[in-house]
Structure 1
Amino acid sequence: MPGITQRSTKPPILKSTFISHGTLECRDIFATRRFYEEVLGLEVAQQASLALIVRLGGHHVYAVIETPDNDQEMPLLNHNGIDLGTREEVDEAHVKMQEIKDEYGIRKLTSPVLQHGTYSFYLQDLDGNWWEICYLPKNGFDFRFDSGVDLTGREDLSAAEIRSRLQRPLEHVTDRTYD
Structure 2
Amino acid sequence: MAGITRRSEKEPLLKTRFLSHGTLEVVNLQASRRFYEEVLGLEVIQHAPIGLLVRLGGDHVYVCVETPKAEQHEMPLLGHNGIDVGSREEVDDAHAKLSAVREEYGIRKLTRPVDQHGTYAFYLQDLDRNWWEIGHLPPGGHSFRFQDPKYDLTAPGTAEDAAE
Asked whether the two chains share a fold, i.e. TM above 0.5, the reply is yes
Separation in 2 of the partners of 1:150 and 1:34? 39
Taking the TM superposition and a 5 Å limit, the aligned residue runs for 1:43-58 are: 43-58=43-58
Separation in 1 of the partners of 2:2 and 2:48? 43
Aligned residue in 1 for 2:6: 6
- Whether 1:155 aligns to 2:160 is yes
Separation in 2 of the partners of 1:139 and 1:41? 18
Aligned residue in 2 for 1:59: 59
Separation in 1 of the partners of 2:139 and 2:48? 36
1:91-146 deviation digits (Å, cap 9, x = unpaired): 00000010000000000000001111111000000000000001001221122223
Q: Is the 8 A contact 1:45 1:53 kept in 2?
A: yes
Taking the TM superposition and a 5 Å limit, the aligned residue runs for 1:72-151 are: 72-147=73-148, 148-151=150-153
Separation in 1 of the partners of 2:43 and 2:2? 38
Separation in 2 of the partners of 1:19 and 1:6? 22
**Off by >2 Å, runs of 4+ in structure 1:** 153-156
1:124-179 deviation digits (Å, cap 9, x = unpaired): 000000000010012211222233121116439xxxxxxxxxxxxxxxxxxxxxxx
- 1:68 is displaced (CA, Å) by 2.3
SS at match of 1:141: helix
Separation in 2 of the partners of 1:21 and 1:54? 10
- AA matched with 1:81: G
Q: Is the 8 A contact 1:26 1:65 kept in 2?
A: yes
Is there any run of 5+ residues in structure 2 with no aligned partner, and where? Answer: none
1:13-69 deviation digits (Å, cap 9, x = unpaired): 111111000100000111000000000000000011110011111110010000124
Q: Is the 8 A contact 1:4 1:154 kept in 2?
A: no
SS at match of 2:151: coil
- AA matched with 2:58: G
